[in-house]
Each structure stands twice: as structure tokens, then as C-alpha cells.
């Protein structure tokens, strides 16, 4: 269940004179089954090609985001931004932007090459060392698949020829141990279908707190959202603008005539319309921009609503999924897109 801390409308706050303490008091949060509540809007740190962005640029944008009021940050081993995020958080504390790391919500993810029993805990410990932190707020299994172990645990090399079936029960039991040890306050998954969540829940002693998946007006995830609500799992949206700049993206979302029309009628940007739509579904949402004004613009979604007509029109858009066949291969455990997504390619199936 989402909650809103404070009562002053965000429309009364000048984005040019944004007070991060005011924003922190206004940021809606979602209560999870484990750990502290998750701020409903978080900032992602992935950029493509992975690891190609200048570390100083990433660090600077994280600091700018903290200044703007962001308190939720998302990284992953494969993004190669864990150490950069940790440096930015440490500097933010030194500069007094936040009193301590505890004021922030930090998520990272287990890469497929480390998704093996006996390798989950070492992977999390490596992430914590890089981030100079004692714990994460949320640790996710990045994808429901594994890859053959590399000799170098720091290697992020990816080859479809090396894909193997994940020992989901063995990996999840070690994820649970990470939480019991206090190295992460909550555990969850990413890119899991209803069917894969059902399998996981059949043996889990600690249920996943969240499932991070692609969500935007063309990938609405209605079936998965209802399933997660029923099971007490918070849905968290990535690529809310269609994943522009990623290998799987196209410009359909940002070029959509309907979304442009709604944005014009509401006096908002297309990005704000998309983010507001995701927010109204009850999802948390991960946004990403290295542009200072857009960082602040992305927070301007709380003091207005889409109309019922807007929502109905968005519901008629044709559905597609961008992250479709990344882990599908003729020699791998999932040989077709339907096998990987369990037939849940569109959100209503």
C-alpha cells in the first residue's frame, strides 16, 4: 500500500528552488513485506553500452538527484555503477545532503553469471564492498536464468551460448540467507512472470518483496500486477518511457500521438504522462536522466491526475515488450520467447 508523507501540494514547490528536505517529506512510499518502505520514484544508473559512461558523469548526476529530492537509487552488478553510486552516497553524506546512508533506499541485483548456489552471498558481499555500505535495502535476482560460471567473478561478459537453467530454489535459499544476515533488508526478483513467481513461492520461506519489470503504456502488465498484489509483492517499473537508449528500445512511447495529445491537454510532458500513468497503477517507478531539468521534471507527477478518458485511451494502445528475447537461444534453457515469458508476452495474457 502506498502512502504519502506530508500534506503540502507539490504544485506549491518551485522546481527551480527545489528543497530536497521538502521533497523527501512529500515523496510517496510503498510499504513492502520486508524492510523499510520504498520511495515510489527512484533513479536508475544503467547506461548503454553498459559501463561506457564516464564515472564522474554518473557520480555527478546521482548527487544532483539527491539535491533534487531523490532518495531511491537502483543499480546492478552488470551496470558497473555500484562503486560510483557508493562514492556519490559517501560524498552526499559528507556534504550534508543527507544525514546518513540510512536516509536512502539502495537496490542492486544479482547478475546471471553469479546466480548459482554458493555464489549469491559472495556476489552481494562484493557489491557492498564496492558501495562502501554495510547493507542494501533490496537485493534482486536480475533475471530468471543463469550463465555458466566465469573464472573471474568480476567478469560481466555475456554470451547466449553459456546460458543455463537457474537452480531457482538453491539461489533463493541463499538470497534468504542474505536477508537473515542483515546484508540486505529485503529480497526480490526482476523479470519474473506469474508462473515463475508461483514456482518460487512454492518453496520460499521469505517471499519476494518486489518484482522489477518493464512497464509503460505499451507494456501494461495487468495480469502480473494483479498477481503481485494478491501475493503481497510490489511491482517496480523500469523503462517507463519505453527504454529509450537501450538495445531493446524503439521510440514508440515517446513518439506516440495519443500520449502527445494527452500531454498537451494536461500541460505536461510525454514523460510526465507516462510516469503518472505508471504511478497511478500503484507501481514504484525507476526513471533515468542525466539532464538536471528532466531529473526535477520527473518528480512533477504527484499533484495532478489523468482523466478516466485518458486512462481508457491508454488501455487501448497495442501491447509489446522490449526486453523480449535477450535470454532466448537455441542452446539455452529457453528456446523461444514464449518459454522465457511463459506465454505472458503481453500484460493481459
**Active-site positions?**
79
d(CA 289, CA 85): 15
C-alpha cell, 199: 514456482
Are the CB atoms for 228 and 200 separated by under 8 Å? Answer: no
d(CA 13, CA 23): 9
Cα–Cα–Cα angle for 342, 234, 253, rounded to 5 degrees: 70
Are the CB atoms for 278 and 237 separated by under 8 Å? Answer: yes
d(CA 307, CA 195): 33
> Other CB atoms closer than 10 Å to residue 182's CB: what's the count?
9
C-alpha cell, 189: 526478483
d(CA 168, CA 141): 10
Residue 67: CB partners within 8 Å, gap ≥ 6? 18, 20, 97
Amino acid at each position: 500500500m502506498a502512502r504519502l508523507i506530508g500534506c503540502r501540494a507539490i504544485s506549491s514547490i518551485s522546481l527551480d528552488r527545489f528543497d530536497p528536505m521538502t521533497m523527501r517529506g512529500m515523496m510517496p512510499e510503498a510499504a513492502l513485506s520486508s524492510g523499510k518502505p520504498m520511495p515510489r520514484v527512484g533513479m536508475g544508473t544503467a547506461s548503454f553500452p553498459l559501463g561506457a559512461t564516464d564515472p564522474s558523469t554518473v557520480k555527478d548526476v546521482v548527487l544532483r538527484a539527491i539535491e533534487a529530492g531523490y532518495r531511491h537509487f537502483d543499480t546492478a552488478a552488470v551496470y558497473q555503477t555500484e562503486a560510483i553510486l557508493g562514492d556519490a552516497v559517501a560524498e552526499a553524506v559528507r556534504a550534508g545532503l543527507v544525514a546518513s546512508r540510512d536516509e536512502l533506499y539502495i537496490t542492486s541485483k544479482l547478475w546471471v553469471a553469479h546466480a548459482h548456489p554458493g555464489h549469491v552471498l559472495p556476489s552481494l558481499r562484493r557489491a557492498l564492498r564496492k558501495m562502501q555500505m554495510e547493507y542494501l535495502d533490496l537485493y534482486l535476482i536480475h533475471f530468471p536464468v543463469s550463465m555458466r560460471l566465469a573464472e573471474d567473478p568480476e567478469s560481466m561478459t555475456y554470451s547466449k551460448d553459456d546460458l543455463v537453467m537457474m537452480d531457482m530454489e538453491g539461489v533463493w535459499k541463499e538470497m534468504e540467507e542474505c536477508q537473515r544476515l542483515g546484508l540486505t533488508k529485503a529480497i526480490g526478483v526482476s523479470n519474473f512472470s506469474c508462473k515463475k513467481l508461483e514456482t518460487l513461492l512454492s518453496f520460499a520461506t521469505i517471499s519476494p518483496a518486489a518484482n522489477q519489470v518493464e512497464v509503460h503504456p505499451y507494456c501494461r502488465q495487468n495480469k502480473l500486477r494483479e498477481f503481485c498484489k494478491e501475493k503481497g509483492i510490489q511491482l517496480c517499473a523500469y523503462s517507463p518511457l519505453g527504454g529509450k537508449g537501450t538495445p531493446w528500445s524503439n521510440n514508440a512511447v515517446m513518439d506516440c500521438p495519443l500520449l502527445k495529445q494527452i500531454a498537451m491537454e494536461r500541460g505536461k510532458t510525454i514523460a510526465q504522462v507516462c510516469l503518472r500513468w505508471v504511478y497511478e497503477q500503484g507501481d514504484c517507478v525507476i526513471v533515468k536522466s542525466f539532464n538536471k531539468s528532466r531529473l526535477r521534471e520527473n518528480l512533477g507527477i504527484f499533484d495532478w491526475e489523468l482523466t478516466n478518458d485518458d486512462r481508457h485511451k491508454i488501455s487501448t494502445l497495442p501491447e509489446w515488450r522490449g526486453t523480449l528475447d535477450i535470454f532466448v537461444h537455441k542452446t539455452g534453457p529457453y528456446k523461444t520467447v514464449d518459454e522465457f515469458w511463459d506465454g505472458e508476452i503481453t500484460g493481459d495474457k
